[in-house]
Amino acid sequence: MNILILMCDQLRGDVFDDGHVCHTPHMDRLAARGTRFTRAYTPNAICSPARASLMTGRLPHAHGVLSVIHTVDDDQCCLRTDLPHWAQGLETAGYRTGYFGKWHVERSRQLNTFGWQDFACEGSPALQANDAHVVGDAPWSLEWSLDQPPGYGSSRFYGAVDTPPEDRRVGARVRLAEEFLDDASSRDNPWCCVLSLQEPHDPFVCGSEALSAYDIDSIPLPESVDDDLVNRPGIYRKAAKVWAHMTPRQHREAAACYYASITEIDHLFGALLSRLESAGQLDDTLVVLTSDHGELLGAHGLYCKNFTAAEEVYRIPMTLAGPGVGQGQVCDGRVGLHDLGPTLLKLTGCESMDTGGDSRSFDELLHQPQQTADWQQGYAEYFGGRMLLTQRVVWDGDWKYVFNGFDEDELYHLKTDPDETHNRVHDDDCREHLERLCRQMWARCRDSGDASLLNSEYPILRVAPVGPQF
């Protein structure tokens, strides 16, 4: 069995929900012949920690990548080299492995160290030559720049350019994957290929043709776009000021460019799958569609990701199709991005890797999607990046608890409050749920060896609703 992983950056999980305005016909067909997870989540809200968790099956505190690797010194964001990676397991089993596009896991860019035999990522000559002129002097049919607050300069935030995706950065990554697949398909060994795109990460840049398929005025605004963010951490309100001057039209234009970028990706992914089908490889290939994290896209008056634990950020797409996967299935089990590695090793019959109990295979859900009793809980960590914030997120059924060591905690009942506008952390009626989820947080800290948070006995650090001794 071969493996093709189609990975995006900052792709929301809800764009594949029934009735969503985003046009994704090829990925919809992929879901129709596979299993789509509606509550998949990322173990971290930003790129590098999430991607390192994907590769190692470990939570961020365990693998050592706590921030985005290009923003801090080495000693603040260092992937622990003694941890196994699932790609190494595939390589040992005889797989030919290839990784093309955004890596962002660590700084050496020597992917062969981690099990990838063929690769081209940021800084690779094969991509540098293309990226130097990806847009060039092509005219923009739509463009809006962010220039607030004063003193931060102006930067393009969204826009549409008269250049097709094949001739932009995204096209170069796809071509490298195509070359690898053409060669690998002609050989006897099984293969694993990761195509990792930067898109639809901000700035939301799309082609004018793709944008023309969207009626901007009819794009719905998020229900929480005007959220006053009361009873939430103060930094949420500080960040919302960055976009407070955006008009409803500009919110819709930003969303349209984001969705149009996804439509372009969908087209390129569809062409790649057709290429595999023509080569007679598709039926023997496990195809995975996922992302490192999501995008706020105006929810709560915010964009991008980082310190808010909103579902728009933490919910990610997770679709698998191919050998060993039931067709046309939808599963609401809460699987994590870091669970994917153990799942791939299980499905391919490779030796499992040590994940320290941080992750596990969800292969059972691929043919029994209703058996989710053991998949109701989720857990994520966030270390604030350059803002130095301590955050943990706990899901259990319809309840969600966010421990904000720096400010107000959060508690939401997602079934009745899917937009997370009513923080119930101070509701007496919810105290039982608050304490239960807080105890689950401490249990995960203890079981995963998160000593830095678990060691909170010092008097001034006793800021959780209940402590770790229970």
What CATH number does the domain containing 394 carry?
3.30.1120.10
In a shared domain, residues 423 and 459? yes
Convert the pLDDT of each residue in 158-196 to its tens digit.
Answer: 999 999 999 998 999 999 999 999 999 999 999 999 999
Same domain, 336 and 429: no
For residue 257, give the 3-state DSSP assignment. helix
User: Domain range for residue 240?
Assistant: 2-375
Q: Are residues 237 and 168 in the same domain?
A: yes
Query: What pLDDT score was predicted for residue 436?
Result: 98
pTM for this model (two decimals): 0.96
**Distance from C-alpha of 378 to C-alpha of 370, rounded to nearest angstrom:** 17
User: Any idea what DSSP says for residue 43?
Assistant: S
Q: What is the mean pLDDT of residues 198-213?
A: 97
> Are residues 306 and 400 part of one domain?
no
Scanning 279-379, the segments in alpha helix (DSSP H) are 311-314, 340-348
Total tally of structural domains belonging to the chain = 2
Q: How many CA atoms lie within 13 A of 183 on its CB side?
A: 10
Other beta carbons within 10 Å of 450: 19
Q: Which of 375, 403, 431 is the last residue of a domain?
A: 375
Task: Tell me which of 64-73, 126-135, 241-250 is least confident.
Answer: 126-135
Per DSSP, the three-state class of 206 is strand
Pair (31, 135) in one structural domain: yes
Over range 69-73, report the average pLDDT.
79
pLDDT classification of 136: cutoffs 50, 70, 90? low
Length in residues, the chain: 470
CA–CA gap between residue 273 and residue 165 (Å, rounded): 17
- Tell me what the pLDDT averaged over the chain comes to: 94
More confident residue, 69 or 242: 242
- Reported as a single tens digit per residue, the pLDDT across 399-421 is 999 999 999 999 999 999 999 99
Q: Residues 106, 129: one domain? A: yes
CA-CA-CA-CA dihedral for 375, 4, 11, 339, to nearest 10: 20
Q: Specify the amino acid at residue 238.
A: K
- Mean pLDDT (whole number) for 251-269: 99
Spell out the residues 6+ positions from residue 159 whose beta carbon is closer than 8 angstroms to its own.
140, 142, 143, 144, 203, 204, 205, 206, 257
Tens-digit pLDDT profile for residues 263-289 = 999 999 999 999 999 999 999 999 999
In the prediction, which pLDDT does 100 show?
A: 97
Which letter does DSSP use for residue 220 in this model?
A: P
Q: What is the pLDDT of residue 284?
A: 98
Give the closest residue to 159 by CA, choosing from 287, 256, 280.
256
Using one digit for the tens of pLDDT, what is the confidence trace for 297-341? 999 999 999 889 999 999 999 999 999 999 999 999 999 999 999
Instruction: Report pLDDT for 133.
Output: 56
Closest CA to 159 of 145, 147, 149: 145
